[in-house]
Amino acid sequence: MTQHTQQNDGGYAVAELAKPVWTLGVAQSRVHPAADEAGMKANLDHMLHLVDNTFHATFGPTPDLLFFHEFPISGWDKWTKAEAERRCIEIPGPETELIAAKAREYGCHIAFGAYVRDPDWPGHVLSITTLIAPDGSILAKHWKARNVKGVFSGFELFTTTVYDVLDEYVDKYGIDEVVPVARTPLGNISLSSTQLEPELFRAAAIKGAEIFLRTASGSFNEIDIRASALHNRVYTAIVNNSLLARETNFFEDTGAGGSAIYGPDGNVIAAADSKFEKLILGQIPIAAFRARHRQPDIHWDLYRPIFEKYTSRFEPNLFTPYQPDSLEDAGRYLNGRSRWI
């Protein structure tokens, strides 16, 4: 683990680059709610099939990193926590071993999101985005930082995020892992399924993140994604699901499509031109970028007094004493807990 330190020239800690330019592949694929273990296996098999397709059907540079969305293995539905737990994987575990085998076969990195159970966090359902190296090792497991609250009608999300158990998380992993940055041979990477929290990505950029890999399922805000690239002058990719299967409980085009790669100027490098399953490829000239890139130039002394007096709407650690057992239970539990009068 590399601790974040401020450098006098605006630089940041890095790992040696494997190559000056590399190719990012964004796999806009289905998010199919798994009914049971057989459904989980079918989803994983399809994900592995798409990895094979990527290297079979790509003419020109093949991806050095192939990026999948938030729930390619489990899918998503309005499950209870117990139902979601049955669709959790472990990291490492049988699923990651099969994905790692594909990473080794093709010599590429693979990133994906998943519901995760962890013996260190009994009773919690985690949402984690994982990065696997070409040798099959796990380079990073980045928790979702926080869930949006007060947006859904009649329910809240019950997955446990860093904010929900902040003190215990820091005790286990250290303060540096609250906003983690993976320093890899492809560059400094931040993996996240968090939406509409610009401060999170600003903090990651201050710590030296050069590439934001952002997952979604069921829609996202394009301005939010593009702004995180532009405001922090970094590369940002968003991967969302494709059209849903007709047999699911949702309409086919529910929140589908829009996957894209954006450059440090906020402009599109590559984007999906349909809502179907799609591979998007973009070049990341990381060596040239790094030669000129610095941390965000923030006039922090202007804002520090305001942030120091700010009180967030919901306090941290709310899932330490209690883990809601359903979306509706999470809504009831969080109702009335706002610190804003």
Check the CA dihedral 147-46-86-99 and report its sign: negative
Indicate the angle between helix axes 94-106 and 37-57, nearest 10 degrees: 10
Q: Look at residue 6 and tell me if it is in a domain.
A: no
Q: Within a domain: residue 2?
A: no
C-alpha to C-alpha distance for 264 and 47, rounded to whole angstroms: 29
Question: Which residues of the chain register pLDDT less than 50?
Answer: 1-2
Q: What is the pLDDT of residue 11?
A: 95
Residue at 50 is within a domain? yes
* Count of other CB atoms within 10 angstroms of residue 85: 14
Tell me whether residue 12 is in a domain: no
pTM, rounded to two decimals: 0.95
Nearest CA-CA partner of 197 in 156, 144, 154, 258: 144
The total domain count for the chain is: 1
Position 5 in a domain: no
Residue 263 sits in a domain whose CATH number is 3.60.110.10
Kindly report, residue by residue over 133-183, the tens digit of the pLDDT: 999 999 999 999 999 888 888 899 999 999 999 999 999 999 999 999 999
> Looking at residue 22, what is its pLDDT?
98
What's CA 45's distance to the chain center, in Å? 21
What are the CA-CA distances from residue 312 to residues 132, 160, 340 (Å)?
34, 18, 8
Residue 83 class from Cβ within 10 Å (0-12 exposed, 13-18 middle, 19+ buried)? Answer: middle
Residue 47 lies in domain:
22-334
How far is CA 63 from each of CA 22, 55, 122, 203, 286, rounded to the nearest angstrom? 8, 8, 36, 28, 14
Assess if residue 341 is contained within a domain: no
Task: Look at residue 15 and tell me if it is in a domain.
Answer: no
CB neighbour list of residue 49: distance below 8 Å, 6 or more residues apart: none
116 in Cβ contact with 126 (< 8 Å): yes
Q: Nearest-5° angle of CA 33, CA 77, CA 278?
A: 50
